[in-house]
Structure 1
Amino acid sequence: MSEIKHGNLIVSSAPHVVSPVNTSRIMLDVIIALMPALLMAVYVFGPRALLLTVSCVIASVVFEWAFRKITGRTQTISDLSAVVTGVLLSFNLPANLPIWMAVIGCFVAIVVVKQLFGGLGQNFANPAIVGRIVLFVSFATPMTTWPLTRMQLAGGADAVTGPTPLGLLQKGAMEDLPSNADMFMGFIGGSMGEISALALLIGGVYLVIRKVIEPTIPVCFIATVAVMALLMGQDPIFHICAGGVMLGAIFMATDYVTSPITTKGKIVFGIGCGILTMLIRMFSSYPEGVSFAILLMNILTPHIDELTRMKLNGVPKGGEQ
């Protein structure tokens, strides 16, 4: 950077703005935004939800520290990205999942998906999503065994596990579906961080206000799910509040590294996530499709960026002069 001194005044080339925003600040904002959903999970499922979340956070941080230590790389645990990964992974799990299984998911997310590809900024897909999918494929029964909520237990339920709203829909048990109000508030079964649309919405609004995320992907994702539901003769509010649409749209599809850079790309990405989610929900043997939809769109992100990047007039292809 060149600079010219005029007496006591130093005139230098751009940029001139110094911003306090860094990775750890952004990750701290994400953690704060996730707290309403965590509080709701603890309220609905009890202290086991908090134990699982803390265990995933500790495991994620330890795995990142150990990998960086063993490979002789600079430590990065202070950027809080491993903490965010741990919280997000725990939010995609049943509250009653054995801790040791959750730790395996943390290993996959941190070591395999994140660190082996070069660390933060180099991973090809959202680490928490891949960790969740690996756990689902490896431990299908525990990953689809959902604990009853404290409301269901207080009502005299004679079991300790039960189906999710999407599971009920797939079985055709329409009379047993919870109300949209209950799903919006979070008084339902499911992965512990996805149950309350209200809590997730509060976190999303906080992130937009803090300028951590843009609303483009979440709005396109959620709107596409709503439109697809209407076209399929389904209740759009149900499909928005049930399952992982809100969690995925706000906190996972917006990952800086694995989502498109351009505005057009973000629109394509959000719409693609919504379409794939509904296609999987309605036509596959699995009632939920958010994780698979986001993973597939993560893989397509480089191509989306390439197709939607700004073309500069007068600049030859490839930027050659």
Structure 2
Amino acid sequence: MEEQRLIVTASPHIRDSASNRSLMGNVVIALLPTVVASAFIFGMRALLVVAVTTAACVGFEYLYTLLMHKRNPVGDLSAVVTGIILALNVPVGMPLWICIVGAFVAIVIVKQMFGGLGYNVANPALVGRIVLFLGFTSRMTAYVYPDLAVDALASATPLSSSVDQSTVSLLDLFLGLHGGMLGETCILTIVVGLAFLLFTRTISFAIPGSIVGTVFVLTLIASGDLHTAVAEILSGGLMFGAVFMATDYVTSPFTTRGKLIYGIVIGLLTFLIRNFGSMNEGMSYAILMGNLLTPWFNEWGHQIPLGRVKPKKKAENQAAAASAGKGGAA
């Protein structure tokens, strides 16, 4: 009878039927309420921006893999997710050709040139947004305000230095009745998407919870005002980034402890940039820094295998065993 070897490795040992396509499909479903809300708040052009950016991402991925004679990964829906997220990170008036430039940066430069899905060191949509902001700043800040908001055309975005967050309407922030990017305004639909992702176990609460919690606590300490702290987490791209961008499987830690450290660092950087930097936002740069530090977060948060004995302790045990053996032999 052939001898069977039992290989003992660190737990947990989990078998799951989930695939890249099913996980990405869940993210697409979670994003749909925000897409619909953007169309309702900003008009039907929002859907055009989403469609063009998503089609560009899928098209660039197909053409690149075709030219490089690589396996076509379009069916895993990762390019679709990148396209939707990138579209929701631009204002509704963004020229479509600039959206296509962002799609090229995200898919070709950040994703495929690093080896494709699983090899990119930063979230493709995130880097695409940052490149567009640096290269087309005036376009990225040319917000179109929703007609539903009272005096919207004469007001600024919630994170603008001219806005007193202690008096801003929390209901308007929650429902998205203010200017901003397509996907960052309506917190209600982001929360719905988060609930779906948690219910389907597509993501864990560790990352979005630690990011939002860190910003909330630091703002509350700094301002001493609960209303301001709540307004801070409902403003800008904090919620959208925490739920849909910081939780990217490839560029975020895989251990619970690592995820918590990762989220706290992103929240801390966001708070520092918003309050002490020259930018009103800061979430994108904070997530990018978190992406780049993920290998260290994984190392710091690495689990200890069940039954593992520290080298020093192991040496002491071996010495004690040897001593006992000599005593028994005598």
Of the candidates 182, 199, 206, which is equivalent to residue 216 of structure 1?
A: 206
Match of 2:283 in 1: 290
| Inter-partner Cα distance in structure 1 for 2:148 and 2:167 | 15
Match of 1:38 in 2: 35
1:25-174 alignment, distance < 5 Å: 25-152=22-149, 163-167=156-160, 170-171=161-162, 173-174=163-164
Q: Contact 1:165 / 1:177 at 8 angstroms: preserved in 2?
A: no
Q: Does 1:226 align with 2:226?
A: no
Match of 1:257 in 2: 250
TM-score (structure 2 length as normaliser) = 0.85
Q: CA 1:18/1:291 → structure 2, altered by over 3 Å: closer, same or farther?
A: closer
TM-score (structure 1 length as normaliser) = 0.88
Of the candidates 179, 188, 204, which is equivalent to residue 178 of structure 2?
A: 188
| Inter-partner Cα distance in structure 2 for 1:65 and 1:175 | 45
Deviations 1:32-58 (A, max 9, x none): 000111111001100111000000000
Q: Aligned partner of 1:217: which letter?
A: I
Of the candidates 193, 200, 214, which is equivalent to residue 203 of structure 1?
A: 193
Q: CA 1:69/1:213 → structure 2, altered by over 3 Å: closer, same or farther?
A: same
| Inter-partner Cα distance in structure 1 for 2:132 and 2:155 | 20
Q: CA 1:215/1:138 → structure 2, altered by over 3 Å: closer, same or farther?
A: same
Q: Contact 2:49 / 2:87 at 8 angstroms: preserved in 1?
A: yes
Which has the greater radius of gyration?
A: 2
Q: Contact 1:228 / 1:278 at 8 angstroms: preserved in 2?
A: yes
**Secondary structure in 1 matching 2:45:** helix
| Inter-partner Cα distance in structure 1 for 2:175 and 2:121 | 34
Deviations 1:167-202 (A, max 9, x none): 2xx13x328964011101111110110101110000
Provide runs of 4+ in structure 1 moved above 4 Å.
16-19
RMSD (CA atoms): 2.3
| Inter-partner Cα distance in structure 1 for 2:243 and 2:45 | 25
Q: Contact 2:165 / 2:231 at 8 angstroms: preserved in 1?
A: no
Of the candidates 228, 231, 237, which is equivalent to residue 238 of structure 1?
A: 231
Q: CA deviation at 1:306?
A: 1.3
Q: CA deviation at 1:107?
A: 0.5
Q: CA deviation at 1:3?
A: 12
| Inter-partner Cα distance in structure 2 for 1:3 and 1:192 | 61
Q: CA deviation at 1:310?
A: 2.2
| Inter-partner Cα distance in structure 2 for 1:129 and 1:184 | 23
Match of 2:272 in 1: 279
Match of 2:240 in 1: 247
| Inter-partner Cα distance in structure 2 for 1:18 and 1:204 | 24
Gapped runs of 5+ residues in structure 2? Answer: 5-12, 313-330
Q: CA 1:310/1:141 → structure 2, altered by over 3 Å: closer, same or farther?
A: same
| Inter-partner Cα distance in structure 2 for 1:117 and 1:128 | 14
| Inter-partner Cα distance in structure 2 for 1:309 and 1:176 | 41
| Inter-partner Cα distance in structure 1 for 2:121 and 2:79 | 16
